[in-house]
Amino acid sequence: MMSDSKLCSLSYSVYLKFLAVSDTLVLIANLFTQTEKQFRLPMVANINNTLCKMSVTYQLYTMLLSPWLVIGLTLDRFVCVCLPLTRRRLCTRKKSIAVCSCMVAATILLVLPSLILTKLGNGGCNPSDELVYYLLPVRLIMSATLPCVLILLLNIVMIVRIKRSNEFRNTLIRNRQILRTTVQHAPWC
């Protein structure tokens, strides 16, 4: 799909590419974590303070970015379905690159405190209490609740719009058939 020049020039292909990279990063993070747990290996994050900070920040970054890229893709589809006359103006490749880049930058800003407030201690790589209090609402709101609610609402509105469009189209088809039947059976002078 990405090699097709017609599809590659559309805005949603940009979101799909960003999502592919983001989801691959999530899989890599989980691969390392699960491998360490499964084989009871020493955790890479516990080697030194720098790796500890990078590990926690990387995991937070991948966890926060992916849902927001899905929201960007959903918004793009929302505009195409519900506002088709503005699609050519709003759903451009440049604008989707700008939106995805802003999401990447915003996610980086959200995870910056983890670089400062994470440290390697006696019990291993642990976030400080301040970071835990910061991450709790960020994880609950920014990576779970808000993305799910937004995606749900946008999809409900799109489904309603598609249903109304189908009902309107079916009404037009029925009226056209009634008109044809009336014209065919009408006595003409």
Residue 3 has pLDDT above 80, yes or no: no
Q: Each residue of 75-116: pLDDT tens digit?
A: 999 999 999 999 999 999 999 999 999 999 999 999 999 999
Q: Can you list the domains of the chain with their CATH numbers?
A: 5-185 (1.20.1070.10)
Contact 158, 83 (CB under 8 A): no
The whole-number pLDDT of residue 6 equals 79
Residue 119 has pLDDT above 80, yes or no: yes
Query: What's the pTM?
Result: 0.85
Question: What average pLDDT score do residues 57-78 get?
Answer: 94
- What the block records as the tokens of 80 is 């195409």
The whole-number pLDDT of residue 136 equals 92
| Mean pLDDT, all residues of the chain | 91
User: Does 73 or 2 have the greater pLDDT score?
Assistant: 73
Q: Each residue of 142-170: pLDDT tens digit?
A: 999 999 999 999 999 999 999 999 999 99
2: pLDDT confidence band, cut at 50, 70 and 90?
A: low
Question: What average pLDDT score do residues 42-49 get?
Answer: 87
Residue 26 has pLDDT above 80, yes or no: yes
